[in-house]
Amino acid sequence: MNDMPQQPQRSRAAKWTRRGFIGAGVLAGGALVIGVGVRTGNPVGRLGPLVAGGEGEQLINSWLKIGADNIVTAIVPHCEMGQGVHSVLAQMLADELDADWSLVRVMQAPADGSYVVTDTIRTFVAPGTLDAPDWLEPTWNGLFTKIAQLADGLITGGSSSIRTTGQRTMRIAGAAARQMLIGAAAREWDVAAAEITTANSMLSHKPSGRSAPYSQFAAAAAEQDMPQTPQMKAPENYRLMGKDVPRIDIPDKVNGAASFGIDAVVPGQTLTYAAVRRVPVPGTRVAKMDAAQAKTMPGVLQILNMGDFLAVVADSYWQAQQALNAVTAEYTAPESTIRSSDDQFARFAAALDAAGDKGGEEVIGRGDVPTAMQAAAKTVSADYQVPYLAHAPLEPMNATVWARDGRCEIWTSTQVPLMARSAAAKALGLSKDDVTMHHPMLGGGFGRRLETDYVVMAARIGQATGYPVKMIWSREEDTQKGLFRCADMSRFTGGLDAQGRLTAYNNVFTQRNDPADACDCAFYDIPNKSIRVAEAELHLPFAAFRSVDHSQQAFFIESFIDEAAQAAGRDPLEFRLAMLGQSPRHKAVLEKAAAMAGWNAKPAAGHGRGIALTESFGTIVAEVVEVDMSSGKPRLTNVWCAADPGFAMNPDGFRNQMEGGIVFGLTAALYGEISLKDGAVEQSNFHDYKLMRMDECPAIAVEIINGDHVRLGGAGEPGLPPAAPALANAIFAATGKRIRALPLAKHFA
């Protein structure tokens, strides 16, 4: 982070399009810097709805720098949490720039808005246009609002980085810089720009035999006029995009050098450590604390009753946790009358009962469901339910804080560094300019680190101590006291005509977050549809979970479609294909997965195969899961996955994300359950909140279809949704037992 771009000595900015702009400047030492901004409302394909902020907002997403040493630095605003974003965004930029990949470096954009965003960008890229720094600090209005406010450039989620920042800024920055370098060389060499070629970070003019590294023209390039429409490469000219470029972050992840939030050091300072215990039931408070014994324990520095949590600060984390274990406390009575999981599901059932066939808030209404249902030759009905889930990233929640003299410095793993900074500032009564945020790599995010609760807790502890303190949650705290994927229940009735076609579809469920259309399998041609939400109280606080609503909706929908196929007496694959007449890309993906699995060949005795198709975050995914039920318990043998993300920028990285999403989805389907007892979470650690392990992991094959080079989909989340229904459908195929409540393994205990 020492190598931050300096304040440009000279700068210019120009309109690029009505909705975007590019700025360039030159740094001391002659380095060229390029910044790209996009205004909200940019109607680029499906991205339009994502950038729904106020007119006139200007979103600065990324930079590139070309140094005197000919090193190209991509300054990536997104956080690296295992999805490979640092590498792939640099890959996209370097391709448009015709950069030598071995001379490309990546820098994490800092969360210190006072430097990069507020001051530098305002004066450099868009002078006089960014008067209100608050445009950087959106409030929580759902995940998609956060993505829309990419402005921040500092939000990582929604499987969005490639298709937003990558497509709209990294590529533009690379292409613009290349054109400006060519322009500068053409002027110096007094030749036509069209005669200059670029490759491997070199400019060449073949007729005169001249060539020079980019660095030689970096300063002069900044004086060039901005390309109004930078020339982007057509797919046939991609050199790095679409290739398996090795990840830049991996070497440091095999030798212990990679630094995560929990590894933070405070330069020149001795750290202390805090162990914490939140109140067991959300919304309650600490009524009484007895810390007499803990106070006498070795290493203990301070014991804090913060009202909503207890903290012990000690010389080591282990001492802090030992002492915290000796602290006893009593808590106020909870307001919620939901005490058990049965209570929670009873609320859901009551909401669905009250909604009936027509009640609740309509999400999708098409055709005439009552008439079609009346006319149906056969109807099929089912209720499905899913429990709460904990995200359980392997790096527990943690943050390191040094608060003193009206300032606060924070080191933490977060998907939202600027929002975390604002939240901490608010909690401490500071201006956000007085809070400095360092955000190293994340030991898993999965949506949990879109929340800032743990950062605020650490900041409050730091304010109480005044000296540097690293707060670490125990795994038990992480499992029991955080925020959760919601539990939910969904009710379906389908009507089949005499030919066994699904002509009527009635669905109501209780939880709706993001994406707004997750509840609709719009690619299936179903003429009469009514999809509604009948809201019901949730006991535990919600946080977006990898794939968000798709994580439960895909299980509901694709289980029900399978039941409809069964009721129609049709093959589950054939039944689906027959509804995909208007959706050729979905059809191709489904056919591909089926072919990979050898769908038409009978599985071995005791085995069953299930199939599911989803579209989430712009990517179409079909999965076939094969399960061996011969022992009476599910043993997963194979997953075949076909996916169409439009275009996979890094196919190997995309496959890795699909593999990970599948394991995440199968883990949730088989084992995932956070249940309630006396209003508190029952599970505590990995012995009772089970995650899939090596010996349970099936073989996974992934094939990619590049179906649309313009409208790209995401990678991080779309592999997850089909996994649960494909597995449940496989268990049905093997056993005839239809399981409508997750987790699946519980039914075979």
- 315-374 positions binding other proteins, by CB under 8 A: 316-319, 321
Q: Would you count residue 686 as binding other proteins (CB under 8 A)? A: yes
The least distance separating other proteins from the CB of residue 618, rounded to whole angstroms, comes to 21
Instruction: Find the binder of other proteins among 114, 198, 211, 259 (CB under 8 A).
Output: 259
Stretch that binds other proteins, among 301-309, 332-340, 431-439, 441-449 (CB under 8 A): 441-449
21 lines the binding site for other proteins (CB under 8 A): no
What is the C-alpha to C-alpha distance for residues 110 and 308, in angstroms, rounded to an integer?
A: 31
Q: Does 652 contact other proteins by CB under 8 A?
A: yes
Q: Which of 436, 552, 583, 667 binds other proteins (CB under 8 A)?
A: 667
699, 710, 737, 746: which one contacts other proteins (CB under 8 A)? 699
Closer to other proteins by CB, 256 or 736: give it. 256
Question: CB under 8 A: which stretch of 69-77, 117-125, 571-579, 655-663 binds other proteins?
Answer: 655-663
Measured from the CB atom, the residue of 349 and 701 that comes closer to other proteins is 701
Residue 393 or residue 482: which is nearer to other proteins going by CB? 393
Residue 392 in the binding site for other proteins (CB under 8 A): yes
Piece of 35-43, 437-445, 495-503, 730-738 that binds other proteins (CB under 8 A)? 437-445
**Which one, 242 or 713, has the nearer CB to other proteins?**
242
Cβ neighbours, 10 Å, residue 624: 27
Instruction: Kindly tell me which residue out of 248, 573, 589, 692 binds other proteins, with binding defined by CB under 8 A.
Output: 692
Closest CA to 648 of 63, 91, 24: 91
Strands 286-290, 210-213: pairing is: unpaired
Give residues 449-478 in contact with other proteins (rule: CB under 8 A).
Answer: 472, 474-475
Site for other proteins in 96-135 (CB under 8 A): 101
Shortest Å distance, C-beta 694 to other proteins: 4
Cis peptide before 743 (omega within 30 of 0): yes
CB 473, min distance to other proteins, A: 10
Residue 629 vs residues 46, 48, 248, 555: alpha-carbon distances, Å: 42, 46, 41, 20
Task: With contacts defined by CB under 8 A, name the span among 394-402, 531-539, 566-574, 628-636 that binds other proteins.
Answer: 394-402
Task: For residue 212, give both structure tokens.
Answer: 């020079």
Which two tokens mark 633?
């318990």
Q: How far is the CB of 266 from other proteins (least distance, A)?
A: 13
Name the token pair of 584: 């050729």
Question: Is 62 a residue that touches other proteins (CB under 8 A)?
Answer: no
Closest approach, Cβ 288 to other proteins, in A, equals 27
Q: Should residue 527 be labelled a site residue for other proteins when binding is judged by CB under 8 A?
A: no
**For other proteins, how many residues bind (rule: CB under 8 A)?**
71
Rounded CA-CA distance 320/313 in Å is 6
By CB under 8 A, which span of 76-84, 352-360, 415-423, 573-581 interacts with other proteins? 76-84
Q: Site for other proteins (CB under 8 A): which residue of 663, 670, 681, 712?
A: 663
In degrees, rounded to 5, the angle at the alpha carbon of residue 127 between the alpha carbons of residues 125 and 131 is: 115
Q: Among the candidate windows 179-187, 381-389, 529-537, 649-657, which touches other proteins by CB under 8 A? A: 649-657
Buried residues in 182-197 as b, exposed as e (16+ CB within 10 A): bbbbbeebeeeeeebe
Q: Which of residues 211-230 bind other proteins (CB under 8 A)?
A: none
User: What is d(CA 583, CA 564) in angstroms, rounded to the nearest whole number?
Assistant: 20
Residues 81-100 that bind other proteins (CB under 8 A): 81-84
Q: For residues 665 and 667, give the distance between their C-alpha atoms in angstroms, rounded to a whole number.
A: 5
Applying CB under 8 A, does 420 fall inside the site for other proteins?
no
| Residue 35 binds other proteins (CB under 8 A) | no
Q: Which residue in this structure is represented by tokens 């007085």?
A: 434
Q: Which stretch binds other proteins (CB under 8 A): 424-432, 533-541, 595-603, 681-689?
A: 681-689
Residue 635 as a binder of other proteins (CB under 8 A): the answer is: no
**Segment near other proteins (CB under 8 A); pick from 219-227, 260-268, 330-338, 548-556:** 260-268
Among 411, 454, 523, 664, binds other proteins (CB under 8 A): 664
Which residue matches tokens 């990970």? Answer: 660
Sorted by sequence, the CB contacts under 8 Å of residue 702 that are 6+ apart come out as 641, 642, 643, 654, 655, 658, 659
Token representation of residue 21: 């702009």
Report the nearest approach of other proteins to the CB of residue 82 (Å). Answer: 3
- The identity of residue 120, as a single letter, is T
Residue 180 main-chain phi, psi, to 5 deg: -70, -35
Of 186 and 320, which has the nearer Cβ to other proteins?
Answer: 320
Angle at which helices 85-97 and 171-189 cross, to 10°: 30
CB 435 within 8 Å of CB 407: yes
Lookup: tokens for 427:
């909690």
Long-range Cβ contacts of 626-633 (<8 Å, 24+ apart): 626/597, 626/698, 626/730, 627/727, 627/730, 627/731, 627/734, 628/604, 628/734, 629/731, 629/734, 629/735, 630/605, 630/606, 632/748, 633/745, 633/748
